[in-house]
Amino acid sequence: QAEWYVRSDTSFYLDLRDNPDWRTFRAVAKGRDVHASLDGKALTPMVSGLTKSSISAFVHQACKDYQVEEARLRSLKPEEGAPAPAADPAAAVGEEKEIFNGKDLTGWKLFKGAWTVEDGAITNGTEASARLESLAQFANYELTFQVKIEAGRHAEVQVLNYTWYAEITRALAPDYKDCKVVVRGADVTVTLDGKALPLLSESNDKAVTSGPIGFYVPKDMKCRIKNVRVKPLK
């Protein structure tokens, strides 16, 4: 397992465990657009933003005998357009997809605090504030999940690279409640058991149209999240 950073804040996660032979990684970047593939299959960027930086790699501690050869770099011509993302057969419009497997945190990146999986639910530690984010980025989608606030005041669901978030309070979710987030372009709505939640933002850029899905829980508060699904929209 390894990560390649095409820019300082744009990386691609490579899971090489299913094939120990040589694999082909290709990344194309122009302006803020970055796309990459492994053996022709599209990879999802973990973060996005800068337009120029170094290229680097990070190899996980358990990875043995990681080798790279035939590394090449070609500058794009001014007339060449932004890279087109490779087709992802699992992202068909209207096809709902589980992004939490109910067993572990595969597909998620921990940013703050401690997170575990208990009884099929993502659960945070209460000793410090906790935040985790999906490795995948999404645009034009419907996110559904069940949430319960067991202690403290609230938790947050965050979308479009933390451009927008909604607070789910313990008063609204003392038991598991159904939360739905709909993202169309830069427009976002959030409902809990069918009732609209206020949408909040601390970002100066409200034009972001894609990004990861995140959850945040302040210190001394306890949250459980399960049945996390995403359905792409037109």
CA proximity to 189, closest of 199, 204, 179: 199
The tens place of each residue's pLDDT in the chain, 234 residues long, gives: 677 777 666 778 777 777 778 888 888 887 767 788 888 788 877 765 555 567 777 776 666 677 888 888 888 777 665 554 444 444 556 688 999 999 998 888 888 899 999 999 999 999 999 999 988 888 899 999 999 999 999 999 999 988 999 999 999 999 999 999 999 999 999 999 999 999 999 888 888 888 889 999 999 999 999 999 999 997
| pTM of structure | 0.65
Question: How many of the other CB atoms lie within 10 Å of CB of 164?
Answer: 24
Task: Decide: helix, strand or coil at residue 205.
Answer: coil
219: alpha, beta or left, given left = phi > 0 and alpha = psi -120 to 50?
beta
